[in-house]
């Protein structure tokens, strides 16, 4: 299962400026908020969570919430995904890969999920 999302960084910057931490808490947990160092990385995290919803083919709603998945960094500082246990069981997620990039005013994320 593959999901890709692209977001304009200025759009995320405006939402953060208007709503502050409350905006970030809608889609990030406290560990993720600590990882965000710039609006570019914030936009990348947003795109990553949208890409997960597309890979699951659910969108964001009753079947999948932004807070059902956590983005963390491995020992090499590469972004990784950690899913809530009930989501792993529901969708049969075995492995996941995540790539995030930003350039030219946009952030993009690609997610690949494999299942049992």
Distances (CA, A) of 86 to 55, 100, 115: 17, 25, 14
Which segments are annotated as binding site for Mg(2+)? 5, 50
**Residue 43, C-beta contacts closer than 8 angstroms, at least 6 positions apart:** 7, 8, 9, 11, 12, 13, 102, 106, 107
Residues placed in the known binding site: 5, 50
């Amino acid at each position: 299962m593959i999901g890709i999302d692209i977001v304009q960084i200025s759009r995320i910057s405006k939402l953060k400026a208007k709503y502050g931490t409350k905006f970030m808490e809608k889609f990030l947990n406290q560990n993720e908020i600590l990882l965000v160092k710039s609006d570019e990385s914030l936009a990348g995290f947003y795109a990553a969570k949208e890409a997960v919803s597309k890979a699951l083919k659910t969108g964001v709603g009753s079947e999948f919430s932004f807070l059902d998945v956590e983005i963390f960094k491995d020992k090499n500082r590469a972004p990784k995904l950690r899913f809530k246990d009930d989501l792993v069981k529901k969708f049969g997620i075995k492995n996941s890969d995540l790539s995030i990039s930003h350039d030219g005013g946009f952030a993009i994320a690609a997610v690949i999920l494999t299942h049992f």
